[in-house]
Amino acid sequence: MKKIKFHSIYYRFILFILTFAILVTNLIMADKNSIIQFYKFNLKLLQLNYIFIGIFITITIIFSFIGWKFYVCKEGIYLRKLELLIPWEEVEAVSHVWINEWSVRPNGKQYLYNRKSLVIYRKDYKPICIYNISLLALYMIKILKPSIKTNIIVATLATIFNMAVNFGILYSVYSRKLEFIKIELFLSYIVVYIIKMTLVPLVMVKYENIKHGKYLFHDNAYNKNSSKVIQL
């Protein structure tokens, strides 16, 4: 029985933040021989870049192979945490949806994060939501079981939009265009990013709830993980 495993992609969010930070550092300190002090250590900017590349590759390799959450096979979908194999006959539909997480840190800081989630709708059972899963899982499920209903078109468009926004921000920093950016363009970046973080997830969840029932809900400052699903 061939098993195709899928892991959490939360590490990609961390890598995006680190990449943005290192690009901003390079933007501020144009001289590659500039010295950056970390406690008692002095590093050249070029050395810092090499260290970051090493960390980036290491994190990607490690989290691409450890801590898998589920696998798909010809028999169905196996959930590691529940030790449950869901046969294809019980699966009514599978969707890839962005569900916002509102997190409050111990220091009082708050942040909003789009959890790319795989939702498995089952016949006569509560749906199962697996957080931080790549869109590739939906494609693989569609390949193994073409008859299953999915939101593959909507999910693909949302993912392309997400990648375009992130790439545009990183490229603007990398190409040093932020030094000469006009206020109108800067504000447009902010508006597009707000749309990505709020409007797109709201529309996706609303569409899913209309189609499959009111199971999915976003976090807010008062309610956490309020979706009426089994959450993994």
The b-or-e profile of 125-137 (16+ CB within 10 A means b, else e) is eebbbbbbbbbeb
pLDDT of the residue at 46: 75
* Nearest by Cα to 95 from 114, 122, 76, 59: 122
pLDDT of the residue at 129: 96
pLDDT of the residue at 8: 93
C-alpha 68: how far from chain center: 15
The one-character DSSP state at 160 is: H
- The sign of the dihedral angle between the CA atoms of 104, 106, 109, 113 is negative
Please name every residue paired with 133 in a beta bridge, in sequence order, or none if there are none: none
Region of residue 216 (phi > 0: left; psi between -120 and 50: alpha; otherwise: beta): beta
pLDDT of the residue at 108: 61
* Nearest by Cα to 97 from 79, 117, 113: 117
Domain boundaries, the chain: 4-231
pLDDT in tens, the chain (232 residues): 588 999 999 988 888 888 888 877 777 776 666 676 666 777 777 777 788 888 888 888 888 888 899 999 999 999 999 999 999 999 999 999 999 888 766 666 667 788 999 999 999 899 999 999 999 999 999 999 999 999 999 999 999 999 998 888 777 766 765 556 666 767 787 888 888 888 999 999 999 999 999 999 998 767 788 899 999 9
The b-or-e profile of 187-213 (16+ CB within 10 A means b, else e) is eeeeeeeeebbeebbeebbeebeeebe
What is the spatial distance between Cα 96 and Cα 116, in angstroms, rounded to a whole number? Answer: 7
